[in-house]
Structure 1
Amino acid sequence: MWIDRADWNCCGEPFRLGSRVTWELRRDIDKRWLEEAVGPDTAARVDAYQYHHADTGMVIEPTNGTVARIQAVHGRPDPQTGTARGSGVLTELGEADRGTPDRGDLTFEGFLVNLEL
């Protein structure tokens, strides 16, 4: 699943490997940006995203699970697309807390998280 930096910085609660979480997920993810940033193989693993700001009419699935993997995604900014194609770098983490820093010229974009349901 995907957790975008904007949603995370606004409303995300810290979590770590092994944490039991209840998240509201959406399945209508548009993977085009993610495919360009981290490649189609990595993007293919993403089947949902966490979303805190549901409008009425959106299908939200409350989901319980255990955090099995956390990867921070950083990418090089591009004024046309937001993130330069192929610039995505994945970093394994043991926990996700507010204030995930940029890495030099790479901007923090969000987290890829595996949940065991």
Structure 2
Amino acid sequence: MALTIWVDDWQMQCCGDTFRPGDAVSWQLLEVDPGDYADIVGSDRAAEIDFREEHHGPGEEQPLTPLRVVDVTEVHCRYGVPSGSTAEVLRPVPGSTELVPVVEADGWAKARPHTMFAGYLVTAERPAAG
């Protein structure tokens, strides 16, 4: 069964290892609320996210999960201050997502006009028991 995993750009940049489709990886996975990703990737894609990969904070004590990477997609979006917000905090702008299939994830992405790199959507499978 394929899993969809969110990998934050900053976590990869800090201490992630480069990976590509076909690679075997071992990641700490935390279950997510897909709604937390709707502004970044859109509601439909957010509903597909099963886990997020974690290097820091809650979940560090989770055991590593062996996986085989099937597909990697960069996620880029615009950021702005939400309408009516009193705080100057930038948030993803819904509907601004650009998904870019890639052959390698190293935490860094080629700049795209009017958007910022946010992370990766990774499709992966658990290895068959045996």
Alignment TM-score > 0.5, same fold = yes
Identify the match of residue 38 of structure 2 among 35, 38, 41: 35
- Structure 2: distance between partners of 1:58 and 1:13: 16
Counterpart in the other structure of 2:52: 49
Point out the more displaced range, 29-38 or 10-19. Answer: 29-38
Identify the match of residue 66 of structure 1 among 62, 65, 68: 68
Identify the match of residue 93 of structure 2 among 81, 84, 88: 84
Pair 1:65–1:96, CA change in 2 (3 A): same
Counterpart in the other structure of 2:30: 26
Runs of 5+ consecutive residues of structure 2 not aligned to the other structure:
83-89
Q: Is the 8 A contact 1:26 1:61 kept in 2?
A: no
Identify the match of residue 106 of structure 2 among 74, 97, 102: 97
Equivalent pairs, count: 115
1:16 aligns with 2:25: no
What TM-score does the superposition give when structure 1 sets the normalisation length? 0.87
Runs of 5+ consecutive residues of structure 1 not aligned to the other structure:
none
RMSD: 1.8
* Identical amino acids, percent of aligned pairs: 33
- Highest Rg: 1 or 2? 2
